[in-house]
């Protein structure tokens, strides 16, 4: 049926006609749950919350006006409140408002009857059941979390032999949509997601909005494929002008392997899978498996034990020498280690990444930097006083801390020369708010700290970092030393990096030197500072001090 587009006069006429038949006629914006009035100039203004006519928190949970607008067809509904029966006919109407914008709202035509006599018995029971308000999400009319738990359990019990899948969805950066495009667009995103997900589910399957931008569905496994997960989502993406914003939905998938565990635990597993996607920009979904649970438990352990570990002095810095071609030590890189009470050493790759997901990384880094500066202070007046120490800076530190202030105060506190503390940064600092990061780095450099570009060549934007900041040292990533089919190419790249750094008046350190052959090649190419197992592994400070 072709939809009719009303203008103001026509709409008023229509409403007047309806008012001669019904007790109450009004226009409602079902997404905002508000009555709408239209001035003679065709301007919209919002009025009361639409359910204030008769209380009905209930109505919102299963809003027929919303259904009508979404489906584009009339919806009729009977509701009871305070011993009155309200029969509501909802007609979706499209009309043009003052600025020429077309909107779709619901025209509610309501008849009120005293008493509940006209519905009762099974009809009333059905009504009560349908309106088990505690199980619905009022905004999207899907189940809420409670509804998801109840109906998924019923689904499993009803068809225990049918294999099933739970998919937990959320919108990446939903807050950004709210901030950039406003609440109305954010709401529209949720509504469209609801429509798509509802469409994916058969009558016996379960579709729910858990909270905020989190949705979950439980479907039969036979329907599932990796394509299925994101099918239809273009309908949401089209809300955004191409290129202006990339709508990104992520999904965690759990195959129900044990019917007996609580549905909440099943949902948690799907969410666990979902939560690991954050680490990877290109990933749109992930499957739950038991190793994931172990990973999450490990991460939780790291975070829960962090404070205690720090307080007990179990984080220690190890120093790895940086040497010249003859093995003479110039200084060292400070690399953190977590020493267990048993003496076991946990390497940084097992906890740095975890801590980087929280602000704790900065707490740890501040500690490591202070330990390094204390060490430099302790070396004053000893044979080791010419050594420098390089420390690592996580990109997250730029957010949590005023790095300029921190470092300048730190060296002042211990009366250490700024040039003795070298700061290693990687190109990941450019990922966010790069102008600000660049200015902080340049300010540190101007103040006299040496800046090293770590892992040079490992990512994609090493060159832009080089262009924008005044760095003193390039640390070439050990990837270029790895045996590979492209040995010749790697060598040429190494050669070019070394020549380039020469032109830029920068020093080069090559990391990960493990063999004599590698060393000889690097010397031939013109590199003169090295860090690698060939010379020494990272070691406790006392051991480092013994090297002569
Ligand atoms: P990185 O900054 O690139 O540090 C160099 C890593 O290469 C160190 O690993 C070092 O042990 C290793 N390495 C050195 N020479 C060789 C070699 O010849 N062969 C091989 N295969 N490896 C070599 P480590 O100590 O496990 O640290 C790993 C990463 O953890 C570091 O990589 C750094 O990104 C991070 N990290 C370590 N300490 C800290 C810290 O205090 N703060 C922060 N934010 N990150 C840290
Ligand atoms: Ca480093
Ligand atoms: Ca490195």
Residue 179, pLDDT above cutoff 80: yes
Q: Are 280 and 404 in the same domain?
A: no
Measured between alpha carbons, how far is 498 from 503 in angstroms, rounded to an integer? 9
Number of domains forming the structure of the chain? 3
Q: Are 381 and 328 in the same domain?
A: yes
pLDDT: is 479 or 86 the higher one? Answer: 479
User: How many A from CA of 421 to the centre of ligand 3?
Assistant: 16
**Strand pairing of 421-425 and 388-392?**
parallel
Ligand 1 pocket: which of 310, 318, 321, 335 to mutate (most atoms <8 Å of CB)? 335
Residue 220 backbone dihedrals phi, psi, to 5 degrees: -75, 140
pLDDT, tens only, 48-57? 777 655 555 5
Note whether residue 305 is domain-resident: no
Helix (H) or strand (E) holding 491: helix 487-503
Measured between alpha carbons, how far is 142 from 209 in angstroms, rounded to an integer? 6
Q: How confident is the model at residue 96, as a pLDDT?
A: 82
Q: How confident is the model at residue 133, as a pLDDT?
A: 56
The domain spanning residue 183 has which CATH number? 3.30.70.270
What mean pLDDT is predicted for residues 329-344?
96
Ligand minimally distant from the alpha carbon of residue 393: 1
User: How many A from CA of 269 to the centre of ligand 1?
Assistant: 32
pLDDT band at 460 (very low <50, low <70, confident <90, very high): confident
What mean pLDDT is predicted for residues 441-450?
96
- Helical packing angle, 403-414 and 360-379, nearest 10°: 30
Q: Are 104 and 132 in the same domain?
A: no
Q: Of 177-191, 287-301, 350-364, which has the strongest mean pLDDT? A: 350-364
Q: How many residues does the chain have?
A: 548
pLDDT: is 93 or 167 the higher one? Answer: 167
> In degrees, to the nearest 5, what angle opens at C-alpha 524 toward C-alphas 521 and 525?
90
pLDDT band at 439 (very low <50, low <70, confident <90, very high): very high
pLDDT band at 166 (very low <50, low <70, confident <90, very high): very high
Q: How confident is the model at residue 389, as a pLDDT?
A: 98
User: Dihedral, CA atoms, 462, 465, 470, 473, nearest 10 degrees?
Assistant: -20
User: How many A from CA of 404 to the centre of ligand 2?
Assistant: 19
Q: How confident is the model at residue 54, as a pLDDT?
A: 52
Q: Are 469 and 373 in the same domain?
A: yes
Which of 66, 86, 114 finishes a domain?
114
The domain spanning residue 395 has which CATH number? 3.20.20.450
pLDDT, tens only, 27-46? 888 877 788 877 777 676 77
Nearest CA to 230 out of 248, 206, 207 is that of 248
Residue 201, pLDDT above cutoff 90: yes
User: How many A from CA of 358 to the centre of ligand 1?
Assistant: 20
Q: Can you tell me whether residue 253 is helix, strand or coil?
A: strand
| C-beta 356 within 6 A of ligand 1 | no
pLDDT band at 159 (very low <50, low <70, confident <90, very high): very high
Q: Of 128-142, 165-179, 501-515, which has the strongest mean pLDDT? A: 501-515
| Cβ pair 450, 419 in contact under 8 A | yes
Note whether residue 295 is domain-resident: no
| Cβ pair 255, 285 in contact under 8 A | no
| Cβ pair 53, 129 in contact under 8 A | no
| C-beta 365 within 6 A of ligand 1 | yes
The domain spanning residue 61 has which CATH number? 3.30.450
pLDDT band at 126 (very low <50, low <70, confident <90, very high): very low
Tokens of 405: 């202030």
Least confident stretch, 194-198, 483-487, 541-545: 483-487
| C-beta 482 within 6 A of ligand 1 | no
Least confident stretch, 121-125, 156-160, 312-316, 442-446: 121-125
Residue 440, pLDDT above cutoff 90: yes
User: How many A from CA of 540 to the centre of ligand 2?
Assistant: 17
Q: Can you tell me whether residue 37 is helix, strand or coil?
A: strand
Q: Atom of ligand 1 at shortest distance to CA of 424?
A: 2
Q: Counting Cβ atoms within 10 Å, is residue 102 exposed (0-12), middle (13-18) or buried (19+)?
A: exposed
Q: Are 351 and 281 in the same domain?
A: no
Q: Are 322 and 366 in the same domain?
A: yes
Note whether residue 405 is domain-resident: yes
Q: Are 276 and 231 in the same domain?
A: yes
- Scanning the structure block, which residue is given the tokens 């239209």? 38
Q: How confident is the model at residue 263, as a pLDDT?
A: 87
pLDDT: is 61 or 530 the higher one? Answer: 530
| C-beta 397 within 6 A of ligand 1 | no
Which of 78, 97, 114 finishes a domain?
114
Note whether residue 22 is domain-resident: yes
What mean pLDDT is predicted for residues 337-366?
94
What mean pLDDT is predicted for residues 426-438?
83
List the shell of residues around ion ligand 2, using CB closer than 5 Å. 392, 424, 454
Note whether residue 297 is domain-resident: no
| C-beta 205 within 6 A of ligand 1 | no
Q: Are 283 and 420 in the same domain?
A: no
Which of 88, 114, 140 finishes a domain?
114
Q: Counting Cβ atoms within 10 Å, is residue 78 exposed (0-12), middle (13-18) or buried (19+)?
A: middle
Q: How confident is the model at residue 51, as a pLDDT?
A: 62
Q: Are 250 and 327 in the same domain?
A: no
Note whether residue 267 is domain-resident: yes
How high is the mean pLDDT of the chain? 86
Residue 268, pLDDT above cutoff 70: yes
List the shell of residues around ion ligand 3, using CB closer than 5 Å. 454-455, 511
Ligand minimally distant from the alpha carbon of residue 452: 2
Note whether residue 306 is domain-resident: no
Note whether residue 309 is domain-resident: no
* Long-range CB contacts (within 8 A, 24+) of 221-227: 221/162, 221/163, 221/164, 221/165, 221/255, 222/162, 222/163, 224/165, 224/253, 226/285
pLDDT, tens only, 353-400? 999 988 999 999 999 999 999 999 999 999 999 999 999 999 999 999
Domain range for 18 is: 5-114
Q: Are 137 and 30 in the same domain?
A: no
| DSSP secondary structure, 153-217, as one string | HHHHHHSTTS-EEEEEEEETTHHHHHHHH-HHHHHHHHHHHHHHHHHHS-TTSEEEEEETTEEEE
% of the chain exceeding 90 in pLDDT: 49
Whether this model's pTM surpasses 0.75: no
| Cβ pair 351, 302 in contact under 8 A | yes
Q: How confident is the model at residue 92, as a pLDDT?
A: 85
| C-beta 335 within 6 A of ligand 1 | yes
> In degrees, to the nearest 5, what angle opens at C-alpha 159 toward C-alphas 153 and 160?
75
Q: Atom of ligand 1 at shortest distance to CA of 513?
A: 18
Q: Are 436 and 454 in the same domain?
A: yes
Q: Are 201 and 340 in the same domain?
A: no
pLDDT: is 321 or 234 the higher one? Answer: 321
């Amino acid at each position: 049926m072709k939809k009719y587009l009303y203008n103001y006069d026509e709409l008023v006429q229509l409403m007047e006609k309806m008012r001669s038949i019904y007790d109450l006629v009004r226009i409602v914006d079902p997404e905002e749950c508000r009555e709408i009035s239209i001035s003679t100039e065709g301007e919209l203004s919002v009025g009361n919350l639409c359910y204030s006519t008769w209380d009905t928190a209930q109505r919102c949970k299963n809003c027929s006006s919303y259904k009508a607008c979404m489906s584009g067809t009339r919806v009729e509904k009977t509701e009871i409140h305070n011993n009155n029966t309200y029969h509501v006919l909802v007609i979706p109407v499209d009309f043009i408002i003052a600025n020429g914008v077309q909107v779709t709202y619901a025209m509610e035509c309501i008849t009120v009857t005293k008493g509940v006599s006209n519905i009762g018995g099974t009809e009333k029971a059905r009504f009560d059941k349908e309106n088990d308000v505690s199980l619905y999400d009022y905004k999207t009319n899907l189940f809420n979390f409670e509804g998801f738990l109840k109906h998924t359990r019923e689904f499993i019990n009803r068809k225990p032999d049918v294999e099933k899948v739970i998919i937990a969805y959320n919108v990446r950066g939903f807050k950004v949509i709210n901030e950039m495009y406003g609440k109305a667009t954010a709401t529209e995103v949720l509504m469209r997601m609801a429509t798509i997900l509802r469409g994916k589910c058969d009558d016996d399957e379960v579709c729910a909005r858990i909270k905020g931008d989190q949705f979950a569905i439980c479907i039969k496994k036979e329907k599932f494929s990796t394509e299925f997960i994101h099918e239809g989502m273009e309908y949401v993406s089209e809300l955004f002008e191409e290129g202006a914003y990339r709508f990104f939905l992520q999904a965690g998938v759990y195959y129900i392997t044990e019917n007996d565990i609580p549905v909440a635990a099943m949902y948690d597993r799907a969410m666990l899978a979902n939560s690991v996607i954050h680490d990877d920009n290109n990933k749109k979904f992930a499957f739950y498996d038991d190793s994931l649970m172990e990973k999450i438990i490990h991460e939780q352990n790291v975070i829960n034990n962090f404070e205690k570990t720090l307080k007990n002095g179990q984080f220690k810095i190890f120093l790895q020498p940086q040497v010249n071609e003859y093995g003479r030590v110039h200084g060292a890189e400070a690399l953190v280690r977590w020493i267990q009470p048993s003496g076991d050493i946990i390497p940084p790759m097992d906890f740095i990444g975890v801590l980087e997901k929280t602000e704790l990384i900065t707490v740890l880094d501040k500690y490591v930097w202070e330990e390094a500066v204390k060490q430099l202070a302790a070396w004053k007046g000893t044979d080791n006083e010419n050594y420098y120490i390089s420390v690592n800076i996580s990109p997250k530190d730029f957010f949590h801390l005023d790095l300029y202030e921190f470092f300048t105060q730190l060296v002042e506190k211990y009366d250490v020369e700024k040039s003795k503390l070298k700061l290693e940064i990687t190109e990941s600092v450019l990922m966010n708010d790069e102008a600000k990061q660049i200015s902080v780095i340049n300010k540190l450099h101007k103040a006299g700290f040496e800046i090293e570009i770590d892992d040079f060549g490992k990512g994609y934007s090493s060159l832009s970092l080089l262009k924008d900041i005044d760095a003193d040292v390039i640390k070439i990533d050990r990837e270029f030393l790895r045996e590979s089919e492209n040995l010749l190419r790697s060598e040429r790249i190494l050669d070019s990096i070394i020549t380039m750094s020469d032109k830029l008046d920068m020093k080069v350190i090559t990391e990960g030197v493990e063999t004599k052959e590698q060393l000889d090649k690097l010397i031939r190419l013109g590199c003169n500072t090295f860090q690698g197992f060939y010379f020494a592994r990272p070691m406790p400070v006392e051991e480092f001090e013994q090297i002569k």
